[in-house]
Amino acid sequence: MESISVFEIIKIGIGPSSSHTMGPWNAAEMFLEEIKKFQSLQNVKEIYVEFFGSLAKTGVGHGTDIAAMLALSGEKFKEIDTNTIDDKIALIKDFNQINLGKEKKIPFVYGENLVLNMEKSLDFHPNGMIFKAIFENNEVLERDYYSVGGGFVATKEDNSIKENCIRTLYPCHKGEDIIKYCEKLDIKRFSDLIYINEEAWRTKKETRAEALYIWQQIKECIYKGISKEGILPGGLNVSRRAANFNKKLLGEMVFTDAEHWFETVKNSKIDFTKVTRWISCFALAVNEENASFGRIITAPTNGASGVIPAVLMYSQAFTEFNSEEDIIRFILVAGEIGTLFKKNATISAAMGGCQAEIGVSSAMAAAALTEISGGTPAQVLMAAEIAMEHHLGLTCDPIGGLVQIPCIERNSMGAMKAITAAQIALESNPSKARVSLDQVIKSMWETALDMNNKYKETSEGGLAVAVNVAEC
């Protein structure tokens, strides 16, 4: 089994969805590279993209179409000024033209060159898409891609393990592997084992730097979220609430930057009620940014991007486990737990419902908080198990295909469950636990396979059909 770096699970992303926005964006970039290998962008006469299954059914709400057009235009989601997205898409639609890879302008008609096929699904995965390029000499290049969760993209051909895949020194593909290596190496902290394995990709110094960069981006994202008011895009008329939470907790203070705001939060008077309100505020802020094409941290997906930031911010602002080293270890453990779910189940709501997104993120956060709070490796895994156990069967039923209802509030719930799971694990003896993390991951996957497709990010069941979008 291929090893996965923690920074493939926790990484810079753009809203509103990792599987429905970032995945198609990555797929389009991959197709541009395929074109360059086949001939050149200058030789392309026409280009087509067709989305199927869940990608098509919730594509508009998740910005799947927008992501494809921006990527085909040569835009990078890590670099693009998100304030310019609407104008760039308007130019493509108004002029029926796309500047392919910023190299050649060709005709591009929305609805003809880009199609959302809601009647058909590809067999390999619910999030399937086909790209096709026709060249000036009438040669055709066609490729199918599948967005498998967290921004990851697969093809039928490369779905199996590659001979040249990265393998870590102590591969941890299951929870039992973690316990085995920690005992064998006499490692008392799970994160020390992760430090060793991450050297397969980068130095320890680089790993620390990347984790701290992630933390800085989390603070910036939350600060942006608490600084904005108004209505979220998409037509549901959902109001931003994080800014109001912040004002009620801190008053009408004016902040110079994210660091000034964060220090103010840390130094504010708190009680139990205020702490819980802050946790909700942190999660809401991130997911309101995500819902409006903001830059966020994918952890492990965009729809669940508020849980890890909320719990990490909680630890940094309101607990004694708030050192730079705690930040790094939190992110390492959270990411590693996410890899276990990706390898043995799924982190895609289109495959497993929201248990695969909010459930996984809550398990990641619970494990990470337990780690920095002094928990043993066994307690860390126990915390992850507890958090996921109480998300089993959670459906994905976004109203209007938008990551707004119930997604935004659901991140607050996931954060609260994570903190509770960590507290329970820290007060428990893992040797007496009746359910292991590996067992709960297996149960999650079996539940995903049994779940009706209408509850898997199709907007065809649950709240998505109970609420009349036209009345919103």
d(CA 70, CA 6): 27
**Residue 165: inside a domain, yes or no?**
no
Looking at residue 461, its amino acid is G
d(CA 154, CA 277): 40
Phi and psi (nearest 5°) for 117?
-90, 95
Tell me: do 349 and 447 sit in the same domain: yes
**Residue 202: inside a domain, yes or no?**
yes
**Which CATH number belongs to the domain containing residue 141 in this structure?**
3.30.1330.90
DSSP structure class, residue 238? P
d(CA 11, CA 335): 9
Instruction: For residue 267, count CB atoms less than 10 angstroms from its CB and return exposed for 0-12, middle for 13-18, buried for 19 or more.
Output: exposed
Tell me: do 208 and 285 sit in the same domain: yes
Tell me: do 288 and 403 sit in the same domain: yes
**Residue 297: inside a domain, yes or no?**
yes
- CA-only gyration radius of the chain, Å: 22
Tell me: do 99 and 216 sit in the same domain: no
pLDDT at 472: 62
d(CA 251, CA 263): 15
Instruction: For residue 143, count CB atoms less than 10 angstroms from its CB and return exposed for 0-12, middle for 13-18, buried for 19 or more.
Output: middle
Residue 300 preceded by cis peptide, ω within 30: yes
pLDDT in tens, the chain (472 residues): 889 999 999 999 888 888 899 999 999 999 999 999 999 999 999 999 999 998 998 888 889 999 999 999 999 988 888 889 999 999 999 999 999 999 999 999 999 999 999 999 888 888 999 999 999 999 999 999 999 888 889 987 765 434 446 889 999 999 999 999 999 999 999 999 999 999 999 999 999 999 999 999 999 999 999 999 999 998 899 999 999 999 999 999 999 999 999 999 999 999 999 999 999 999 999 999 999 988 899 999 999 999 999 999 999 999 999 999 999 999 999 999 999 999 999 999 999 999 999 999 999 999 999 999 999 999 999 999 999 999 999 999 999 989 999 999 999 999 999 999 999 999 999 999 999 999 999 999 999 999 999 999 999 999 999 987 766 6
Cβ-based neighbours of 46, under 8 Å, separated by 6 or more = 106, 107, 113, 133, 134
d(CA 330, CA 271): 24
pLDDT at 42: 96
Tell me: do 85 and 186 sit in the same domain: no
Tell me: do 141 and 212 sit in the same domain: no
pLDDT at 469: 72
Angle formed at CA 158 by CA 170 and CA 130, multiple of 5 degrees:
140
Going by C-alpha positions, the residue among 420, 397, 423, 401 that lies closest to residue 410 is: 397
**Residue whose structure tokens are 């316990």:** 179
Domain count, the chain: 2
d(CA 424, CA 401): 35
d(CA 25, CA 66): 9
Last residue of a domain, one of 95, 120, 154: 154
Tell me: do 209 and 117 sit in the same domain: no
Q: How far apart are the first and last CA of the chain?
A: 46
Tell me: do 135 and 239 sit in the same domain: no
The pTM score is: 0.90
Tell me: do 90 and 37 sit in the same domain: yes
Last residue of a domain, one of 154, 186, 218: 154
Last residue of a domain, one of 123, 154, 185: 154
**Residue 26: inside a domain, yes or no?**
yes
What residues make up the domain containing 462? 175-471
Beta strands 128-135 and 44-52: pairing type?
A: antiparallel
Residue 406 preceded by cis peptide, ω within 30: yes
Tell me: do 281 and 145 sit in the same domain: no
Angle formed at CA 114 by CA 112 and CA 115, multiple of 5 degrees:
80
**Residue 21: inside a domain, yes or no?**
yes
163 touches 156 (CB < 8 A):
no
DSSP assignment of 310-367 equals HHHHHHHHHSS--SHHHHHHHHHHHHHHHHHHHHHS-S-HHHH-GGGTHHHHHHHHHH
**Residue 168: inside a domain, yes or no?**
no
Phi and psi (nearest 5°) for 4?
-125, 130
pLDDT at 163: 41
In this structure, what token pair is assigned to residue 470? 């036209």
**Residue 164: inside a domain, yes or no?**
no
Tell me: do 45 and 123 sit in the same domain: yes
356 touches 345 (CB < 8 A):
yes
Tell me: do 48 and 91 sit in the same domain: yes
pLDDT at 165: 66
pLDDT at 161: 37
